[in-house]
């Protein structure tokens, strides 16, 4: 009996360690991918301006569009009660200022969490008959986001932003650890909620 307990604990430790490694390295070697649209996952906006985290994601999405890797940009994210605009609306304004035509920008402005970002973006994309996606976010967020998108029947590839606000180990580690816990929670609990 003790032997099976030790083996079970060892397997759990290995799974958790492998998951951490896969989150840390996820999205590497994702250059030159093509899709119909890039879904830029929302992050905070400050008084109508993108936060540094959101701006990094926006820059990457716009770069994908201007490089011809996608035909549309889909901006996601709702707003709090006191916000002047939703995250998606701020993203749209930022992209317009950078020269992206309004006709190539889609938004969903009601979501509050990643799962909602993706399911709402899928509904918006369906109206334009868009079926393949590059999901743009910070590297450590992507494994969970892509897993959620694929579970939702979306053809999706994660693209980490090259302009992440998380540049130093001091800023990367808390974000990585949080996403590690979120991913494990998603894998363990999502089937039951």
Of the ranges 55-64, 77-86, 168-177, the best mean pLDDT one: 55-64
| Predicted model pTM | 0.88
Task: Identify the top-confidence range among 8-12, 96-100, 165-169.
Answer: 96-100
Is a pLDDT exceeding 50 seen at residue 50? yes
Full set of structural domains in the chain with CATH: 2-192 (3.40.50.620)
pLDDT at 5: 87
Is pLDDT larger for residue 103 or for residue 188?
103
Q: Cβ contacts of residue 100 below 8 Å, gap of 6+?
A: 62, 65, 66, 73
pLDDT band at 29 (very low <50, low <70, confident <90, very high): low
pLDDT at 165: 87
């Amino acid at each position: 009996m003790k032997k099976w307990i030790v083996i079970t604990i060892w397997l759990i430790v290995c799974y958790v360690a492998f998951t951490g490694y896969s989150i840390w390295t996820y999205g590497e070697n994702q250059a030159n991918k093509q899709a119909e649209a890039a879904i830029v996952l929302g992050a905070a906006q400050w008084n109508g301006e993108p936060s540094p985290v959101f701006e990094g994601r926006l820059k990457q999405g716009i770069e994908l569009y201007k490089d011809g890797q996608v035909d549309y940009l889909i901006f996601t994210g709702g707003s709090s009660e006191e916000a002047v605009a939703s995250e998606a609306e701020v993203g749209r304004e930022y992209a317009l200022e950078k020269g992206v035509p309004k006709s190539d920008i889609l938004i969903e402005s009601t979501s509050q969490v990643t799962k909602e970002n993706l399911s709402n973006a899928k509904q918006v994309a369906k109206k334009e008959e868009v079926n393949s996606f590059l999901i743009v976010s910070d590297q450590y967020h992507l494994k969970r986001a892509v897993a959620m998108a694929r579970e939702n029947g979306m053809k999706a590839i994660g693209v980490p932003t090259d302009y992440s606000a998380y540049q130093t180990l001091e800023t990367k580690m808390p974000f990585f650890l949080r996403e590690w816990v979120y991913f494990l929670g998603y894998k363990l609990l999502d089937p039951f909620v």
